[in-house]
Amino acid sequence: MSERYSPPAAPNQSLPGYEQPARGNGFGTTALVLGIVSVVLSIIPIIGFLAFILGPLAIIFGVIGVTRKFTKKGTSITGLILGGVSIIIAIIVTVILAAAASSVNESLNKEHKVEYVVTTTGPAQVNYWNGSGSSAEDITADWKKEFTAKGFEVTSLTVSGDFTSESSVTCEIFVDGSSVSKNSGTGTAATAACAGTSSLAK
């Protein structure tokens, strides 16, 4: 009578030296995807704050993936690293944007001393922007006007000589003591025009 065939027994996994084959790691894959997305978002202004959410999640999933037994660790470690990098990048971008916003706000609220200066050898008319509207004055000699401008403000000054006689006229705009525009004209109805902004001061 023939003996019944029995398949060979599976290796005893409890034997010393036996290693369980590494399996796929879902946590590691999740950490890797979250890490990549987080890094990409971290360098984009405004929506970069999402890196502060996705980055920690990538780290958490990465740590779980690394601690799981008999699974591949590569994706978990990569996702963990990318999560940390994305948080660092997001912090740097946030600091830069905050500094830029503070600088812009300071510039918009900074006050500047604006001075208009006109010289003329005869009667003339001066037209200028005084910070709140346009004004005009008739003059017969050199003329000055000062006002305070806030932030970025347009400055404009025009001087026109008399139509019945020759003259020489000059206009100049100073912002915080620095000349930002200067022009002159001569002859009958001589004209000079100056323009600039309060932010042009050096």
Residue 79 has pLDDT above 60, yes or no: yes
Mapped onto helix, strand or coil, the DSSP state of residue 175 is: strand
Q: 89 near 127, Cβ under 8 Å?
A: no
Q: Distance of CA 108 to CAs 105, 126, 136, 196, Å?
A: 5, 28, 28, 16
Kindly state the average pLDDT of the residues 73-82. 90
pTM, full prediction:
0.54
Per domain, the residue ranges of the chain are: 26-108, 110-200
The band of 9, judged by pLDDT with boundaries at 50, 70 and 90, is low
Kindly state the average pLDDT of the residues 24-48. 89
Residue 89 has pLDDT above 90, yes or no: yes
What are the beta bridge partners of residue 148? Answer: 113
Residue 26 has a pLDDT of 85
Signed CA dihedral, 22, 24, 27, 29: sign only:
positive
The alpha carbon of 163 is separated from its chain's Cα centroid by a whole number of angstroms, namely 51
Residue with tokens 């997001």: 90
The band of 24, judged by pLDDT with boundaries at 50, 70 and 90, is low
Signed CA dihedral, 6, 8, 12, 16: sign only:
positive
Residue 18 has a pLDDT of 44
The band of 149, judged by pLDDT with boundaries at 50, 70 and 90, is confident
Tokens read off for 141: 């000699």
Kindly state the average pLDDT of the residues 9-21. 51
Residue 153 has pLDDT above 90, yes or no: no
Does domain 110-200 match CATH 2.60.60?
Answer: yes
Task: Report the candidate in 41, 45, 27, 26 with the shortest Cα–Cα distance to residue 85.
Answer: 41
Residue with tokens 């999740």: 30
Query: What is the C-alpha separation between 1 and 130, in angstroms, rounded?
Result: 121
Enumerate long-range contacts of 94-102, CB under 8 Å, 24 or more apart: 94/48, 94/49, 97/45
Residue 178 has pLDDT above 50, yes or no: yes
Tell me the pLDDT tens digit for each residue of 90-141.
Answer: 999 999 999 988 887 877 778 889 999 999 999 999 999 877 788 999 999 9
Q: 107 near 76, Cβ under 8 Å?
A: no
Q: 158 near 171, Cβ under 8 Å?
A: yes
